[in-house]
Amino acid sequence: MVTVAERPASPREHGALAALTARWVLIAVCLVVGFWTSTLRTLPDAQSTGLVGYLMLMVLLGVPMAIGITRRRHGELPIHDREVDYIVGILAMLVSLGISYWLVPRYREEFTLLRLDLLAAVAFLFGACVLLFGTRATCRYWPGWLAYLLFVPLTYRTMVVALGGSWFAAGAVGIFLVAVGTGIAVARTWRRGVAAAALTFVLGLGLLLAMHTARPDARGAYIQLLPAVIVAAAVCLSYLAVVAKRGTDPGSGIRSPRRPTVKSIGVAAAILVVATVLQAFTPLPPPTAVHVDPGPPDGEAWLRVPSGWTQTEIEKIDWAPKFFGSDATLTRQMLQADEVNPAWDTKNRVRSVVVDNLRTREPSTLAVYPGETLYSTLGSRRSETIDVDLGHDVIGRLYTVVDEELFLTWTKLQFIWQRGDMTQLVNLLSVDNHDPGANFPQLSPEMGSIAGQSLNVLLRGNAIQVDQNPRFKDVNLLSSLGHALVEKQWEAAS
């Protein structure tokens, strides 16, 4: 048996490794500095059982995807056009800055749902790589870039919701992401990539089922990330072990790192630093405020009806767990006044009010789907809010919603309080059409409608969502009923 000693690295290879390391350190520092505020916003969301914890997987998957694609880079000629590199790199930086300075403020209410600042980070990273390594070398890693563009937070949440919205569903989607990353890493041929992805998904799903069986009530990183991380580590380490045993193809860039095609990076580094400074001063929208007041001990899934009102209809909505956690419940109660009140209707008609009652153990989800996100009024115009004192230290927030297609105006009073281990959100809705059978906003959670409204805001701006001249017609009606509801729940709990 003949063994061949490994050839020691040449000075040229040492120089190539040093050049690569220096450029990646510069990119990493600029990325962290430029998006430091985004990092500070992401970490608390991940720690508070937020679904954005999956971003840790995307960061980890970048390593095996990059290594796998690098091993497949054979016989590439050192061809590059520095002018094209500058054009593409600067355009990518401008796209990143445009997202940060223009799009993110436009979607301030949907910030947690969309997280467009992270899309800006991907554009920034792409531009930095083009400036320091060249367009051809950067685009050679297109499968990885495509994965980062596709699996943005909105896509991830849509997939989780489609699978039921549970933490098990979040774990399954995480396993799917790992499978895709693994397939990209080992895809010397498309068959090998598909086989590796399928094997990873099956193994990961089996581990996820075992962990879920052991701890059915598990939440957060344990069920969302741990199975995916374990499977990703096992598959990637096995892959690297096979690579080390079989040897690496000559010129692949792993054992014999090649000096970057782009030799001089002085101007590119200056452009990168300027873009970093501009990004660092980008303001992010303030966190969506979810004001939770103290409430009575936890009660039933519905609200007790106060005197002077009669419940004419009650409906249990079955999709709440998809958006607000597996223990979430949502009910709609139709209440009708027992007597005519001239202050509420000049034609002496009996008024009706819809009461939507959402209960969840994951209050962080209320910041993800705020305002009209889950109503059919998503594309309507909304007024500014006014505070209403409902007693027992409970503050309601009242605003109007104008639907120009139906020529209707709804008035909405919302309050949130803590009842035991459940956070309860209550919406009281009235309509300016006082006739029987008037249309009330329907609860219709559709990611497609959210995407459509997002496109509408993109093209026309935030002004399409704001009612500049609101008419608060039902303040007395809703504040009276809201005060009575709060009092009735405390009375029933005592």
How far apart, in Å, are the Cα atoms of 483 and each of 296, 411, 478, 490? 14, 16, 8, 11
- The Cα 89–Cα 395 span in angstroms is 50
- The Cα 365–Cα 358 span in angstroms is 11
Reply yes or no on whether the pLDDT at 280 is more than 50: yes
AA identity, residue 427? N
- The Cα 154–Cα 118 span in angstroms is 11
- The Cα 397–Cα 385 span in angstroms is 6
Lowest-pLDDT range of 28-32, 45-49, 470-474: 45-49
Q: Is residue 65 a contact partner of residue 232, using CB atoms and an 8 Å limit? A: no
For residue 309, what are the β-bridge partners? 337
pTM of the model: 0.84
**pLDDT confidence of residue 124:** 98
Exposed, middle or buried, 349 (CB in 10 Å: 0-12/13-18/19+)? middle
Nearest to 387 by CA among 353, 410, 413: 413
Of the pLDDT bands very low, low, confident and very high (cuts 50, 70, 90), residue 2 is very low
Q: What is the 3-state secondary structure (H, E, C) of 55-69?
A: HHHHHHHHHHHHHHH
For residue 412, what are the β-bridge partners? 399, 429
**pLDDT confidence of residue 391:** 92
Q: What is the pLDDT of residues 163-178, one digit of tens each?
A: 988 889 989 999 999 9
Reply yes or no on whether the pLDDT at 477 is more than 60: yes
Residue with tokens 């690098």: 70
Reply yes or no on whether the pLDDT at 252 is more than 60: no
Q: What is the overall mean pLDDT for the chain?
A: 83
**pLDDT confidence of residue 207:** 92
**pLDDT confidence of residue 266:** 87
Pair of tokens at residue 428: 């009281």
The residue ranking higher by pLDDT, 225 or 248, is 225
Q: Is residue 170 a contact partner of residue 224, using CB atoms and an 8 Å limit? A: yes
Nearest to 156 by CA among 186, 207, 119, 120: 119
How far apart, in Å, are the Cα atoms of 42 and each of 108, 224, 253, 376, 448? 15, 16, 34, 30, 25
Nearest to 143 by CA among 79, 213, 45, 72: 72
The domains of the chain are located at 11-280, 293-493
Q: What is the pLDDT of residues 323-340, one digit of tens each?
A: 888 889 999 999 999 999
The residue ranking higher by pLDDT, 66 or 372, is 66
Lowest-pLDDT range of 146-160, 227-241, 272-286: 227-241
**pLDDT confidence of residue 257:** 60
Reply yes or no on whether the pLDDT at 251 is more than 70: no
- The Cα 226–Cα 233 span in angstroms is 10
* pLDDT > 90 in the chain, percent: 37
Pair of tokens at residue 35: 């998006």
- The Cα 213–Cα 206 span in angstroms is 11
Q: Which helix (H) or strand (E) holds 211?
A: helix 190-214
Residue positions counted in the chain: 494
